[in-house]
Chains A and B, each alone.
Chain A
């Protein structure tokens, strides 16, 4: 009877699969209990004086309780999958509702920026093993509970979205690893102790330490790929048709960041200029970098600017955009909350205006200067210049004047140490990178479409 309803809810196989996931989490935490028992020590519980002197319990006990709960949950799932209609261990609506309510591109961007900032500010806290473990547990529980939601499952459960979920965990892990080692090294530096890398001299032999390890990795990855290939069949969709394109039409997952940029930029900017700048910019990094510190070891404090800038470009502007594009952009490239049905009929207010229109029509209450039909190139150019001069001025100011202003103010030290050429390259790369969030903010705040709009020449900024 599942078939008669539009959104069939839980199916036995989902519940069963979740059972195994909870079981896995149980085993992971069981190992953690052991580790915690050995390392975490004892805490004293007073319960506001009810227990008098207090009861001394090892921290591991909390983990053990959690572990037991996980086991029960897992067993419930594994044995209760026969009756999905009445299965009640679901993501409660009380969570879904606020998340759905609050979800929109602005919140998403603000959220990812907040996490980015917290990640740096709280780096000392979240790189502790317990904090890391808590975050991991939290994220897995969140995923597992969310999977019980039909709409969430439809998106996250697609076979071609599996690598993105994996990527999220991998990115998280490596970021965590970097910060953990940096924090450690920064601490050592402050205390005058030798760096991690110096203390554990990690030089090893090519054979067997490197090559043998690589061989083992190769074998394991091959095994993983084969198993993946058997379990998750390649998602084959409908034959390509010019008359009927899939809605939403999505790029391969690793390009979804670029595709998200298309929302804010003209295709030639988002598809040609900005990707080229990213590539050229990454190539230019060694030549721009004047900071000699931090070579060959992990550190944050000594390379604050470089690391923050890179992570800003990579995490909120690249990875977060991929997540946005993959999981939250639905039909018609509309934004959908994680627990929202991808309904083609959803309509978003899209009434964007160009800067020239803001200036001429809303500002001066005049008509836009119109190019006379059949005008020669110079005449056309003259009218366009007239129409777009505010935008062109703003762009020129942004790219030409702003670097100089910055050199005189916030980047004074940089300018002095780098010289004009290197500084200008750096400043322009920075400004181009910042153009994305700026454009996003302008779009959200002022419905601004293009700063310079010259559709006559296919040139829009």
Chain B
């Protein structure tokens, strides 16, 4: 339409505007398409395809260039050519046959086409007939029609069979002629199968115009690559393009969206992490993670590092069932780096991500990915028992950090104040750490309640119920004020002298609180009846020291006087003589405690050690008294004990006490009432109406005497203070039987709403404090400074500048001070000192020695500096890569991480600071809190930053969001028994004495040069039984080690064996002569050769790869050394017999019911040991679980075992065989066996058949266990093996092989029994032992005579 003047605007310019706007619309539409095409994940996928193609290409090249492959292909090709040639020679015939076959085939096929038509017609006729039946019409015609057709079809089918046969015959004739060629072709095809497969894969993602063998595939390649390019174009790629979102759907692993709803989990992680589950060989990662420079791959292109444990279908966490985010967290549905809620591991990484990925903290997603440091937190969601993550048979230590956190929480007893309930009703929601019911009534009530599960943890501290019998009030307040001052290794946290107790009010109140706590504990202490050594007994402290060492005390405790072993399970005892009451009272207390610990504390973990007095008169030995004398350093009379230190009874100012009491009462009484009460001591409310701590202020009959009133007030303040600080969370204290834990419950702390954490002014505090620093700059001393300061030497570090701001508490440093020594560590240089400070606990008092103006001075200060500065510096250094070593980098960036988390109100940061400086959250809030009681109470534990990191990992995993039941790992059966057993072993420190797993020794060897153990002189049955009981392991690890030996170097295979080091290299020898000798404890297979236990291997020191120490048994090993050293044992094997036995493969040895009984009430078995198995304070369930554990670990049946050798059927069979072999014997098999047992053989060392063993020379003879025990104690197969050859089980045993295979022409041993057949005799011994009780009753006491001279060596078991 032409523009006219009638129009408002010129139509031409309107067209132009329209064109421009349409162009704009087109442009933004294209922009939109581009934005979609340019999505972050597409780029990653494209690159992933490149990586995959490159990898496949390199694999193709590798195969192609493999000489073996090349040769194979060439050979096969040649074969094929030859075969073709020979076929070609018969060309005419082959052609004739082929033509014939073709003709026959065509004929058969043609016939088949006709047949198919007829079949169809027949089917129609049948259907018509059937329809006719339905419609009730005449069936004559229809029936005939069908019949005719059916006949015709039958006839034709027969004809077809003949034709088909003809065709097949003709084809076979052709095949016969060309058989060689066909086979060559097939072989070639299979040889090329792998490379063809790889090439096909390449063709799909990176089309080539040449086949792998160089054959051009131009058309195919070009077409494919054009198609690929086309499919990758924007928009087109939406239609089945190459790049696409990869989605894993886990409908049962729901995500909790803030409590409103739960949704199925969709993980799109693999969209970018495309190769995460690629395997190479076995479960090794296809795309190993690492630096691309080393030919490895960076995320997101690398494979998961632990594909044996995750993602693969053979792993316990297959990808389709678990996905990614259930462990890692993060937003699985996100398809960009930031939307996936990746979380950086430290602020330096955060900055790097910000630059690289525009990363920001998407705080709207409630489940951000765990940063690397908390990776293991997710494990305990399903693995609520935690311990199985510590050391798994199959997967090793899969989550050591979270296990460490868990152990720390358990060891330090966090659950005393913070409930960690693993149950919601009876549904498991997470790890369960709760105190056990404190009274039997409560335990009973919970047991009856089907909706409750009782806690299982014991209070970690000692009982204070009878405390007055042990220590004085002075010591208790001295100890409470700062436990570490008395015992630096104590686990008791510090409640006083902390950040929020520096003001006047606290300075006034704290001494009252300390005095009051001690007063309360002493006044309320219940009477305790101690034991005493026999009257007139003079303890021998020197003997006591040896008994202390030998009777197992040092398996849990350490003491300065017994060096070389450093156990920390129980308290360090060097200073115990400074804390107990003086005189006989203190001595008797310790005596009682050593003899019968459960008498003082029914729930103690200290076992009953059977330290009973022996002998009479002058020979009397009371080991407990001797040990007590040693510990208390008593020389002479018991009464002479005087503590090495005295602690003045705390003094309390009356006025201040009144003020404190008044402030405590302010909430329950009026000011006037308080005034009257303090004056008269008359409480305005009657006693029966008071349920709170105020009850302590109420007398039964009104007023008190002035002195008693003061005591009452002190008791009241003590009770209030104990209530406030929750001392009863760790200690058993009278009147606190039903008190609840005072702290926040932690079972869901890992998802606690961050707005509910009280950060207060922590940010302001940390800006200036919270980092160990001395408020100065330090500098190494150089010659110039040494001269200027007129110093004698250049040791120490100079204070070069006093930093502005608030100096740390304590003494102040001055310019030019030279620091010589900090906390007992001599100062070498500035960086060493910085390092030392960095590792120290903030706010801890440290002593310093400085050189000031030529004089040495001792200072005390509390290092404190700006945490912000530290974090800031760490981030800078991290970004510039300036850290010297990984440990320092970890530590400093870790601190920066937590600081950053704190400033953004994160849970990890809160927890970290809470554990480092619990009271720092009271910074500047003390001033505005209306009540003294409102101050924070969390005590300070002596944790290092690294330990806090581990605890945080555990606590952040406590989310009480259990996944679907089938995902929970709470197994029953052997796996469950192992878990429970591991826990108990930790709880009772079984590994303190016993070796549970032998050390693993790895060294390089040449398998070809080794000679298998000669077993020709053993019973073949014995060898068979050994291999069945202990299947041989493959000793070769597959790793190699290059060992240098004189002149050259050899590549040796590394072998691993379980056993003991029999001889360590002598450091005095020349390096090339130093040798190890190790003794094997298990059957081992190396390169097809079999090695039996007791085999000794020697190898040069240089070949050693590693010795992984035994699991447990530190004390046993230490004791062996000691016994040898002091000459109590002549040789190591004997020393081993005197020490706690290894429990290696204990499950295969003992019957579980016996072990249960033994654990509940351990009787004396061995006569060789210097100590006895103590009785632990364990419940029936615990003993049962522990007994089951050993069987479960060794995969033998439990809790009940069938003893087949007692079954009538077995005995009947044995009888028949026996009478067949020895027809003239009248007795039955068992009676004959009983005779065998009672011949003068076993009795040499063992009491047997009701007769006591006669030891003629106690110095040399070894007394074995009473054989009466064997029947119920030992498993029959194990007994059998032991009788065959004891050394195969315990190489160090003194028990000889009772009846070794007889050599030809040897003297007959017991000719009248079993025809003197050693094998039969040995078996009969076993059967007699198994049926011991029955036989003893039937046959009565044995009558055999002990040999005149007992064997020099006897049984060790």
Q: A-side interface residues toward B, CB under 8 Å?
A: 1-6, 204-205, 208-209, 212-213, 215-216, 219-220, 222-223, 226-227, 229-230, 236-244, 247, 344
B259 and A216: CB pair below 8 A? no
* 7 A-B pairs with least C-beta separation: A241-B258, A239-B257, A238-B364, A209-B8, A226-B28, A204-B8, A219-B21
Instruction: Give CA–CA (A219, B20) in the complex, Å.
Output: 10
Q: List residues 1164-1202 of chain B with CB under 8 A from any CB of chain A.
A: none
Given A1-B876, A219-B21, A223-B21, A238-B366 contact (CB < 8 Å)? yes
B366 and A239: CB pair below 8 A? yes
Given A4-B871, A5-B903, A212-B18 contact (CB < 8 Å)? yes
17 contacts between A and B (CB under 8 A): A1-B347, A1-B875, A1-B876, A3-B900, A3-B903, A205-B6, A205-B8, A208-B14, A212-B14, A213-B9, A219-B18, A220-B25, A226-B29, A230-B28, A238-B364, A238-B365, A243-B259
B351 and A3: CB pair below 8 A? yes
Nearest chain A CB to B1297 CB, angstrom units: 72
Nearest chain B CB to A248 CB, angstrom units: 13
B872 and A1: CB pair below 8 A? yes
Q: Name B363's closest neighbour in chain A (CB-CB).
A: A238
B1284 beta carbon closer than 8 Å to chain A? no
Instruction: Give CA–CA (A222, B32) in the complex, Å.
Output: 12
Q: Which residues of B contact A223 (CB under 8 A)?
A: 21, 24-25, 27-28
A4 and B260: CB pair below 8 A? no
Q: Name B22's closest neighbour in chain A (CB-CB).
A: A219
B875 and A238: CB pair below 8 A? no
B755 beta carbon closer than 8 Å to chain A? yes
Q: Which residues of B contact A215 (CB under 8 A)?
A: 18
A219 and B258: CB pair below 8 A? no
Q: Which residues of A contact B8 (CB under 8 A)?
A: 204-205, 209
Q: Which residues of B contact A204 (CB under 8 A)?
A: 7-8
Q: Which residues of B contact A2 (CB under 8 A)?
A: 351, 354
Q: Which of A1, A3, A230, A241 has the most CB of B within 10 A?
A: A3
Contact of B257 among A5, A209, A241 (CB under 8 A): A241
B900 and A230: CB pair below 8 A? no
Q: Which residues of B contact A227 (CB under 8 A)?
A: 28, 31
B903 and A4: CB pair below 8 A? yes
Nearest chain A CB to B1045 CB, angstrom units: 55
Q: Which of B29, B257, B258, B261 has the most CB of A within 10 A?
A: B258
A244 and B258: CB pair below 8 A? yes
Q: Which residues of A contact B365 (CB under 8 A)?
A: 238
> DSSP majority for the B interface?
helix
Q: Name A217's closest neighbour in chain B (CB-CB).
A: B21
Q: Which residues of A contact B11 (CB under 8 A)?
A: 208
Nearest chain A CB to B1079 CB, angstrom units: 58
B21 and A205: CB pair below 8 A? no
Instruction: Give CA–CA (A209, B4) in the complex, Å.
Output: 12
Q: Name B18's closest neighbour in chain A (CB-CB).
A: A216
Instruction: Give CA–CA (A344, B753) in the complex, Å.
Output: 14
Q: Which residues of A contact B798 (CB under 8 A)?
A: none
Contact of A208 among B7, B29, B868 (CB under 8 A): B7
Q: Which residues of A contact B22 (CB under 8 A)?
A: 219
Q: Which residues of B contact A209 (CB under 8 A)?
A: 7-9
Instruction: Give CA–CA (A227, B31) in the complex, Å.
Output: 8
Instruction: Give CA–CA (A156, B8) in the complex, Å.
Output: 40
Given A1-B876, A222-B25, A239-B260, A230-B35 contact (CB < 8 Å)? yes
Q: Which residues of A contact B899 (CB under 8 A)?
A: 4
Interface size on B, residues (CB 8 A): 44
Q: List residues 7-63 of chain B with CB under 8 A from any CB of chain A.
A: 7-9, 11, 14, 17-18, 21-22, 24-25, 27-29, 31-32, 35
Given A219-B22, A241-B257, A3-B347 contact (CB < 8 Å)? yes
Instruction: Give CA–CA (A264, B1020) in the complex, Å.
Output: 99
B1057 beta carbon closer than 8 Å to chain A? no
B1 beta carbon closer than 8 Å to chain A? yes
Contact with A along B729-764 (1 / 0, CB 8 A): 000000000000000000000000101000000010
Nearest chain A CB to B28 CB, angstrom units: 4
Nearest chain A CB to B713 CB, angstrom units: 38
A242 and B259: CB pair below 8 A? yes
Given A4-B347, A208-B14, A215-B18, A239-B258 contact (CB < 8 Å)? yes
Give 4 A-B pairs besides A212-B14, A230-B28 with Cβ atoms closer than 8 angstroms. Answer: A6-B903, A230-B31, A230-B32, A244-B753
Q: Which of A212, A222, A237 has the most CB of B within 10 A?
A: A212
Q: Which residues of B contact A242 (CB under 8 A)?
A: 259-260
B269 beta carbon closer than 8 Å to chain A? no
Q: Name A228's closest neighbour in chain B (CB-CB).
A: B28
Given A1-B872, A1-B876, A222-B25, A240-B258 contact (CB < 8 Å)? yes
Nearest chain A CB to B263 CB, angstrom units: 9
B876 and A216: CB pair below 8 A? no
A344 and B903: CB pair below 8 A? no
Q: List residues 1188-1231 of chain B with CB under 8 A from any CB of chain A.
A: none
B258 and A205: CB pair below 8 A? no
Q: Name B760's closest neighbour in chain A (CB-CB).
A: A345
Q: Name A212's closest neighbour in chain B (CB-CB).
A: B14
Instruction: Give CA–CA (A344, B758) in the complex, Å.
Output: 12
Instruction: Give CA–CA (A341, B8) in the complex, Å.
Output: 53
Q: Which residues of A contact B14 (CB under 8 A)?
A: 208, 212-213, 216
Instruction: Give CA–CA (A215, B18) in the complex, Å.
Output: 8
Nearest chain B CB to A82 CB, angstrom units: 12
Contact of A237 among B6, B18, B364, B876 (CB under 8 A): B364
Q: Which residues of B contact A216 (CB under 8 A)?
A: 14, 17-18, 21
Contact of A344 among B257, B755, B875 (CB under 8 A): B755
Q: Name A222's closest neighbour in chain B (CB-CB).
A: B25
Q: Which residues of A contact B872 (CB under 8 A)?
A: 1, 4
B7 and A243: CB pair below 8 A? no
Instruction: Give CA–CA (A213, B872) in the complex, Å.
Output: 59
Q: Which residues of B contact A230 (CB under 8 A)?
A: 28, 31-32, 35
Q: Which residues of B contact A238 (CB under 8 A)?
A: 258, 364-366
B1271 beta carbon closer than 8 Å to chain A? no
Instruction: Give CA–CA (A208, B24) in the complex, Å.
Output: 21
Q: Which residues of A contact B18 (CB under 8 A)?
A: 212, 215-216, 219
Contact of B364 among A212, A226, A236 (CB under 8 A): A236
Instruction: Give CA–CA (A237, B364) in the complex, Å.
Output: 5
A4 and B896: CB pair below 8 A? yes
Nearest chain B CB to A236 CB, angstrom units: 7
Q: Name B1's closest neighbour in chain A (CB-CB).
A: A208
Instruction: Give CA–CA (A6, B761) in the complex, Å.
Output: 13
Nearest chain B CB to A15 CB, angstrom units: 16
B350 beta carbon closer than 8 Å to chain A? yes
Instruction: Give CA–CA (A220, B899) in the complex, Å.
Output: 49
Instruction: Give CA–CA (A238, B364) in the complex, Å.
Output: 4
Nearest chain B CB to A348 CB, angstrom units: 18
Instruction: Give CA–CA (A227, B7) in the complex, Å.
Output: 32
Nearest chain B CB to A349 CB, angstrom units: 17
Q: Name B21's closest neighbour in chain A (CB-CB).
A: A219
Q: Which residues of A contact B31 (CB under 8 A)?
A: 226-227, 230
Q: Name A215's closest neighbour in chain B (CB-CB).
A: B18
Q: Which residues of B contact A4 (CB under 8 A)?
A: 347, 868, 871-872, 875, 896, 899-900, 903
Q: Which residues of A contact B258 (CB under 8 A)?
A: 238-241, 243-244
Q: Name B873's closest neighbour in chain A (CB-CB).
A: A1
Nearest chain A CB to B875 CB, angstrom units: 6
Nearest chain A CB to B362 CB, angstrom units: 9
Q: Name B899's closest neighbour in chain A (CB-CB).
A: A4
Q: Which residues of A contact B29 (CB under 8 A)?
A: 226
Nearest chain B CB to A330 CB, angstrom units: 14
B257 and A1: CB pair below 8 A? no
Q: Which residues of A contact B260 (CB under 8 A)?
A: 239-242
Contact with A along B346-362 (1 / 0, CB 8 A): 01001100100000000
Nearest chain B CB to A331 CB, angstrom units: 10
Q: Which residues of A contact B763 (CB under 8 A)?
A: 6
Nearest chain B CB to A250 CB, angstrom units: 15
Q: Which residues of B contact A222 (CB under 8 A)?
A: 25
